[in-house]
Structure 1
Amino acid sequence: MLIKLAYRLMRIYWFLVRPVTLGVRILLLKDGKCVLVKHSYQDAWYLPGGGVKRGETLEQAIRRETAEECGAILNQIRFLGVYNNFVEYKSDHITLFLSEDFTLNKVSDNEIEQVSAFAYQQLPEDISPGCRRKIEAYINESLDPTGMW
């Protein structure tokens, strides 16, 4: 409940300030499945990821975020591209990574309600449209390294 309130307050802040933000997301793919997370303050499924902290590299950020959100320990990762997203009043820049070499561990995070792996052809109906587009484009070998999220 408190996290949902904080999220609503952040949206008001974003409306007033219109910030430029930098985030990271990752395709965690293994055995024909993609790992997704469901946040406690949003209704859709998303690729794991989040914001880059001051003084943090993109690689450090994606390793931290995946460990926090789904307990993933990443071995090999690969950079796929940088994308723009202008929803929620932000000028958001999202860097996308890929890992097919990772381990999932249990994690207790109030921000994340659920972590699950879905078959590529059976993604949940309530997945974020941007995440669905990136997963499908990667699977179909048509992912551009730039453009809209």
Structure 2
Amino acid sequence: MTLGVRVLATDPAGRLLLVRHTYVSGWHLPGGGVDLGETAEQAARRELREEANVEAEGPLTISGCYFNPLVGGRDHVVLYRAARLTIGPRPERNLEIVAADFFPPDALPDDTTPATLRRIAEWQGAPPSDRW
């Protein structure tokens, strides 16, 4: 089994943090794989720092655990929520991240990925799914 994390992070204005990668299309919630010896929460915090220069304050809240059948048939994604953030300057483009920015929930980029849109809809009250 493989395990990944994503973070639904909101700034004080209620905007959502999304990232664009160099290796896949669309805007995604920040996140990635859990490294050897790392807890899922540690991975979520690391990914926020690495991808967006954002630090989550206080404990993260687990929002759900989802089966991701598109990645080897054994992948799961733990989704965390973070509302108290320390936001640094937006990082410059690097080998992994093209852009990271905050967007109002009603003005998301057109190419926000379907899985990201499903998680945002659940955050807004839609019935939850168990699949990424």
Alignment of structure 1 residues 45-124 onto 2, 5 Å? 45-76=27-58, 77-106=60-89, 107-108=91-92, 109-124=94-109
Partner residue in 2 for 1:28: 9
Structure 1 residue runs of 4 or more that deviate by more than 2 Å after TM superposition = 88-91, 106-110, 141-144
Q: Is the 8 A contact 1:21 1:90 kept in 2?
A: no
- For residues 95-135 of structure 1, the C-alpha deviation after alignment (integer angstroms, 9 at most, x for no partner) is 00001100221334421000111110111111110011001
Unpaired segments ≥5 residues, structure 2 = none
The DSSP-based 3-state class of the residue aligned with 1:62 is helix
Tell me the TM-score normalized by structure 2. 0.89
Count residues in correspondence: 128
Higher helix share: 1
What RMSD, in angstroms, separates the aligned Cα atoms of the two structures? 1.5
Distance of aligned partners of 1:143 and 1:56 in 2 relative to their CA distance in 1, 3 Å threshold:
farther
Q: TM-score when scaled to structure 1?
A: 0.80
**Stretch of structure 1 that moved more, 21-30 or 87-96:** 87-96
Q: Larger radius of gyration, structure 1 or 2? A: 1
Counterpart code for 1:59:
E
Gaps of 5+ in 1: 1-19
Residue 10 of structure 2 aligns to a residue whose secondary structure is: strand
